[in-house]
Amino acid sequence: MKSAILKNGKVEIIDKEKPTLLNKEGAIIKVIACGLCGSDIVKINHSTPENEDKISLGHEIVGEIVEINVEIVGNGAKTPFKKGDIIAMGHHYPCFKCKYCTHGNYSMCETFKNSNIHPNGFSEYIYADVNHLKNTVFKKPENLTNEEFSFLEPLSCCIRAIRRSGLDINNKELNKTYNALVLGLGSIGILMSEAIKTFGAKTFGLDINSERQKYVEKYGIFFDKTIKYDLIFMTSGATKAIDTAFNLIDKGGKIIVFSSVQDDFKGYFNNEIYYKELDVIGSYSPSPFDLKMSYEFLKNGYVDVKNLSTAYSLENLENAINDTKIGKILKGYIEL
């Protein structure tokens, strides 16, 4: 089968042995398509000859179960998974038992970090184990296209960040008292903005790219320079955004760090945090609960993901990466 790997800092499509269910339980999934995540590009940018063989690219998968040898209903289905089901999935699951899980920090769990699909999402076939099926695999609703359903995992990441900010989907009366700003309006910033609106907070967005600022107006997202913000979601990977956040955050506010930056020495200022009683919160990756909420958001049309991505073939994955880097597209959708 065809599969993408990194070699000398470039993506290369190679022939690899197709995964099997020999001596193990789970499912073989034929990948229909896989979204290109910003984290994939970060991995490529930070790759070295020493770590390339450990980098797994692609995880925003929509595919078809073509083999399965267990009967599991799981978190994302009402009937057991079967051959022929079209699914989307998350690629990590926690143990639910360790200190990190009991504290709600599921993505810090060692089981979470070590679990992954095999070999990667930019492959014609992948293996999903029993715990993936139980916790992270969801059957496609009839009202969604494959492309729309591929947003299950990235939207769940946004939902995780929003929940960590303190917004509660069941308390919209309180949520609407918050001014929330999304800094960075790429595809993930748009998803974040739409999800925050669904939670009920007053939602704003800011991007240094005027075209993107204009583009998000169709989602009802604007920037108001006359107010301070109670919640700021950092979806931009630019270090300058940190200064912008401090200029725009209100006293007692929360900054939710949702992206890495290239400069390890650029950070958040101690005295600003101290005197304004700010919270600076990291949010990295979703739990199975966030995946389930993402599924409900997509199925019920709470967020609009139409026309956010641009399709490429697997052979043109490198072009999709380059087009994303230069801002030519919002998001790549790699069809296999």
Average pLDDT over residues 194-218: 96
Whether 253 has a pLDDT exceeding 80, the answer reads: yes
- Give the C-alpha separation, 98 to 101, whole Å: 5
Contact 126, 119 (CB under 8 A): yes
Confidence of residue 212 (pLDDT cuts 50, 70, 90): very high
Gyration radius from the chain CA atoms: 20
Give tens-digit pLDDT for 35-75: 999 999 988 888 888 888 888 999 999 999 999 999 999 88
The reported pLDDT for the residue numbered 79 is 92
- The H-assigned helical ranges of the chain are 38-45, 99-102, 110-114, 130-135, 146-149, 152-164, 172-175, 187-199, 210-215, 240-248, 270-276, 288-299, 317-325
Going by pLDDT thresholds of 50, 70 and 90, the confidence category of residue 13 is: very high
CB 256 within 8 A of CB 234: yes
Which tens digit of pLDDT belongs to each residue from 281-302?
A: 999 999 999 999 999 999 999 9
Q: Whole-prediction pTM value? A: 0.96
Is the pLDDT at 266 greater than 90? The verdict is: no
Strand 229-234 to strand 249-257: parallel, antiparallel, or no bridges (unpaired)? Answer: parallel
pLDDT tens digit sequence for 98-115: 999 999 999 999 999 999
Q: Are the folds of 2-150+309-335 and 158-282 the same?
A: no
Mean per-residue pLDDT over the chain, rounded: 95
Domain 158-282: CATH superfamily is: NAD(P)-binding Rossmann-like Domain (3.40.50.720)
pLDDT digits (tens, 9 = 90+) for 21-32: 999 999 999 999
Q: Report, as an integer, the average pLDDT of 228-240.
A: 94
Residue pLDDT, tens place only, 127-174 = 999 999 999 999 999 999 999 999 999 999 999 999 999 999 999 999
Omega into 119 within 30° of 0, i.e. cis? Answer: yes
User: How is the chain split into domains, by residue range?
Assistant: 2-150+309-335, 158-282
CA atoms within a 13 Å half-sphere pointing along the CA-CB vector of 292: 12
Could you please state the CATH topology (level 3) that the domain comprising 2-150+309-335 is classified under: Quinone Oxidoreductase; Chain A, domain 1 (3.90.180)
Q: What does the pLDDT read at residue 48? A: 83
Q: Nearest 5 degrees, angle CA 120-CA 144-CA 18?
A: 25
